[in-house]
Chain A
Amino acid sequence: MKVSPGALALKYFFVLLACAVVIYPLLWMVTMAFKPHPEWTTVAGLTWFPQNPTLQNFEFIFFGEAEGLVVSLDRTIVGPLIASLVTSICGTLLAVVAGTLSSYAVVRFGLAKTLPLSVLQLRLFPPLAVMIPVMVMWAFIGAIDTWWGLSLIYGIVTLPFAFWLMKTFFEEVPVEIEDAARVAGCSYWRVFYRITLPIVKPGLATCALFVFILNWSDYLLALLLTQKDWVTLPVYMATLTSAMGGQMYGMKAALGVIAAIPPVVFGLMIQKHLVRGLTFGALKQ
């Protein structure tokens, strides 16, 4: 369809405006991460791009001290970074394995028909409304501030996404292929492992990345269930705020950039399936 140049120009105007609004806060944080102390505020004038770009913010959060800074840090980013990675990956594994197996059983064998909705229920309530018993339980079994305690809860809260996402992928596998393999004498396990799983492999990867993003993005659960050893990146970022008397804008921005990169990269990688994942498979693109 032909679009008049005027309409096209108008369209570009609005699209560019929207993009500018999107980029504005991001840009301020990203450039802030590379700015030395005097440029953190607009007191000496607004500077969008660092006049004297520096890596000292990153140096500071990684090594606890940096040249030209009098303060030092007793805890560096390394611990929280490892904690975030370990708990997100373990939680993702748990959610994806449990979700894949059960959704396959639901799709192929028609088992546990109430499972999809009961799983979905996990996402309905504000986490804080149901966290009291979980915290008591976690304390009771000694899971507070451990990697497995946090991974376990991550695996559980992202299970609905893994389950529903894998359900849609399994539904797309033609049952005839599996029947053919069955006729040829494959056991059910073999059909699943050798035939179906390889077919849904891209879906599985998508699902894993998607669940990883969700786990990585968590703030609240880590805030409630960790104290010191297994504090994750977002929690660490927030404590940096309160621990430092003066405002550590640059360091916090550097931390924010590091925390934001993995999900954005992964998210853009699985762009095509985002709709499916976020709407629990109700909508496909």
Chain B
Amino acid sequence: MTDIKTNSASSRTKQKKQGYWAGVARDGNKMGFWFVLPTVLLLLFIVVFPLLMQLYLSVTWWTPLEGIAWYRAWEVFNWGENYWFQLTDSRVWRALWRTVLIMIIAVPLQFFLGMSLAYLFIDQFPGRKVFYSIMLTPMMVVPAVVGLMFFLLFQGTGPVNAHLGLPSTFSWLTDVNRAMISVIIADVWQWTPLMFLILLAGMLGVPSDQLLAARLLGGSNWQNFFKIILPRMKAVIIIALVLRAVECFKIFDLIFIMTKGGPGVQTETISLFLYKQTFGEFEWAYVAAIGLTILFVLSVIAAKGLAYMAKKSG
């Protein structure tokens, strides 16, 4: 009785906790402890200590330039002025807005394109396998290389201008608006395949007999899609969107290679801003403060999201 109550492990271990198996489970736990240890140590190493250090540094003026060791950063303690300062720093807010802008344009676009492509690939057709492989290539290319590819494409003397019949003085990456468009195009090019891959897997997971039945009953493609496929893909769609949104918020490589955040700060996302503060201004304490704030906000969002999902599904 008590066994079942106290043991919240998987049902498999529940059954085992009696007589002979109890001793066995103890052995297992002992080995399991050693198995878990490396991961736990790595986590502690990269989470607990750095987080404390970040908190410590974020309430000082510390910078690596002055030659003060980080543990003596209290000498320049500033009562958390960094946190106050970031709220009034328009560059932070603009960078944040640009990041969100890229996210709300690129992610839905990727979703729409990925969904359409997945719908094309739902049935067998000659050459499907080859086309499928080709479609997946972009997301496997190193993001920095994708940045280079689009950097080359969008040069004034590059093929895009030549195809569109524009003069070589027509610039993409150094123009205020078009730089953003170029970056979004590159991101969509690289990550639509991910959406396609996930959504197709979800679509193929829709019971084919239901789909067949709907087709036999004379449902139009349109009806089948919205009435049969879409409702059954809800979980998959959420996974795909969340994954992409999280990754898109981190966007760095592409933009850094393509425009370095320029022209000026026109394509500066939050990651690029932090990078420039880190290596341009060397205001590490300030970066630590902003980083912690981001960490906190994202954690709250993630916790709320998880709780919401748990409530919905349970």
Contacts and interface: CB of A to CB of B under 8 A. Distances in A.
Contact of B290 (A129, A135, A213, A219): A129
A22 B193 CA distance: 9
Contact of B158 (A15, A41, A189, A237): A41
A263 B155 CA distance: 26
Contacts of A124: 246, 298-299, 302
User: Dominant SS at the A interface?
Assistant: helix
A177 interface: no
B271 A126 contact: yes
A19 B120 CA distance: 13
Contacts of A26: 137-138, 141, 149
B54 interface: yes
Interface in A229-285: 233-234, 237-238, 247, 249, 252-253, 256, 259-260, 263-264, 266-268, 271, 274-275, 278-279, 282-285
B149 A101 contact: no
Contacts, number: 296
Interface residues of A, number: 101
Interface string B115-129: 011001101010000
Kindly list the 4 A-B residue pairs having the minimum CB-CB distance in the complex, ordered from nearest: A110-B9, A267-B140, A41-B157, A129-B291
27 contacts: A25-B146, A26-B141, A41-B155, A42-B158, A43-B157, A46-B163, A98-B38, A102-B38, A109-B31, A115-B36, A122-B46, A128-B271, A132-B284, A133-B288, A156-B45, A187-B27, A192-B31, A217-B143, A233-B142, A234-B142, A264-B137, A264-B141, A267-B136, A278-B198, A279-B198, A279-B243, A285-B201
Interface of A: 1, 3, 8, 11-12, 14-15, 18-19, 21-26, 28-29, 32, 41-43, 46, 48, 97-99, 101-102, 104-113, 115, 118-119, 121-137, 139-140, 155-156, 159, 163, 175, 182, 187-189, 192, 213, 216-217, 219-220, 224, 233-234, 237-238, 247, 249, 252-253, 256, 259-260, 263-264, 266-268, 271, 274-275, 278-279, 282-285
Given A108-B12, A111-B36, A279-B243, 13 more contacts: A1-B212, A12-B125, A14-B117, A26-B137, A41-B157, A102-B36, A121-B47, A132-B284, A134-B50, A156-B46, A188-B31, A220-B253, A234-B142
